[in-house]
Structure 1
């Protein structure tokens, strides 16, 4: 898939209590192929909208009413897979340290925001989002593989004990049954564990 096509499919949330700032950022992003679908004027609205729309990139002002950006981002990071970039008029080391503690925060832009600043930050956020997706898929696959391995080991132990087979022969038997029945080894192993399969 081409990069521009991927960008247009990304959902972007802009959270800022200044409507003009939101409009400026939205225009910059839309002119460069991003799909800005959600806008919020305060932190509480940003959290609610993020939960509904699951944005891929969040541009979050730090100083906002009802719930500040740091608190809102901390909540949002638990609800979405996407990347978060902070916007602020204050270049404050304390805020930067707080922002660094929040999972999925990938950038920090000092306002007023220009096209030259925001596009590289969003591009990096976009790349981080893609890496996060890949890592999440790899993590799920690893968990699945580990679980399958545990079940296969257990079934192998049952076969060794029941028939006096060697570990190698029990494993080969499981693999052969898997191939013959065209089913994953995990499924064959579960049948051996939970039923009188052999």
Structure 2
């Protein structure tokens, strides 16, 4: 399956070689850059499937760019370097790079690295989305519990009655339970403020 690729390499001849190899492999080069800052801005604009990044580039190096790309969920990053130094490999792992190749590279190895990187990146994004959904669900549950507690306290309701009241309000207003719970909390907590002020006096 063709991969839309951004190529970032400061050496012109090497960059042309990477582009030619990608084209021969059936991939699509959607952008090129000779420095890290340009590569990052271009990636945000063209939204490639993957970026092939030379580690040593002017300004931001390839590892810094990879870290930003992964952090912002833009695309997978495959790093290229002439020297597979342990410090580079460690930094690449910490940055979340999905592939690491040494120059001169084998086009078949580049192809495999790209395919694996894109697949892993999709898995990573899916996991991120699942975690985000779980966090949202947990936050909603906490708000609903607090709203139920205040409804029970102010209106002498049972837990089940308070929950059904929130549910009914959600259906009537066609708003998520979280929004309904937030509105209830805001209203009832405001009602409690004057009482707290009087007690202090």
Distance 1:76 1:174, change over 3 A: closer
Listed one character per residue, the Cα deviations across residues 69-98 of structure 1 (whole Å, up to 9, x for unaligned) are: 334444554455322111112122222122
Q: Tell me the residue number matched to 2:197.
A: none
Q: Tell me the residue number matched to 1:25.
A: 18
Q: Tell me the residue number matched to 1:174.
A: 166
Q: Tell me the residue number matched to 1:94.
A: 87
Q: Paired residue for 2:140, among 121, 144, 148?
A: 148
Conserved 8 A contact 1:81-1:133: no
Q: Does 1:64 align with 2:63?
A: no
**Number of equivalences:** 188
Structure 1, unmatched stretches of 5+, are none
Q: Paired residue for 1:106, among 98, 101, 115?
A: 98
User: Radius of gyration: which is bigger?
Assistant: 2
For 2:128 and 2:24, locate their aligned partners in 1 and report how far apart those are by CA, in whole Å: 30
Structure 2, unmatched stretches of 5+, are 189-201
Q: Paired residue for 2:180, among 185, 188, 198?
A: 188
User: Is the deviation greater in 155-164 or in 51-60?
Assistant: 51-60
- TM-score (norm. length: structure 1): 0.79
Conserved 8 A contact 2:69-2:75: no
For 1:74 and 1:176, locate their aligned partners in 2 and report how far apart those are by CA, in whole Å: 46
Q: Paired residue for 2:149, among 138, 157, 169?
A: 157
Q: Paired residue for 1:136, among 128, 133, 140?
A: 128
For 2:163 and 2:42, locate their aligned partners in 1 and report how far apart those are by CA, in whole Å: 51
Listed one character per residue, the Cα deviations across residues 1-41 of structure 1 (whole Å, up to 9, x for unaligned) are: xxx3xx45x4x211112323322322333344433211112
Q: Tell me the residue number matched to 1:85.
A: 78
Distance 1:181 1:71, change over 3 A: closer
- TM-score (norm. length: structure 2): 0.78
